[in-house]
Amino acid sequence: MPFVNIRITKEKGEPTKEQKAQLIRGVTNLLSEVLGKNKSSTVVIIDEISTDDYGLGGKPITQVRKEQAKAQGKSQAKKLK
């Protein structure tokens, strides 16, 4: 029985229920097509993680995202000058 665990951040209302359903269908179909696995026995679990609950480079992802947005804003401002 194939078991797939997808971990994804919950950001800005995504993934939606529809997107999660599409992921489940897509992964199930992929395992069936590529590995010949039975769709009815394929398990797909989606774990949604808050950006406050994990980190990158010693910082919470919430902070990393804010820094990235700030840096991108500065980069855009330089292009306009």
Please give the Cα distance from 59 to 63 (Å, whole number). Answer: 6
User: Of 2, 4, 23, 64, which residue is the catalytic one?
Assistant: 2
Query: Is 60 labeled as catalytic in the residue annotation?
Result: no
Which neighbouring-strand residues pair with 19?
A: none
Max Cα distance, the chain (Å) = 58
CA pseudo-torsion sign 5, 9, 10, 14: negative
Active site members: 2
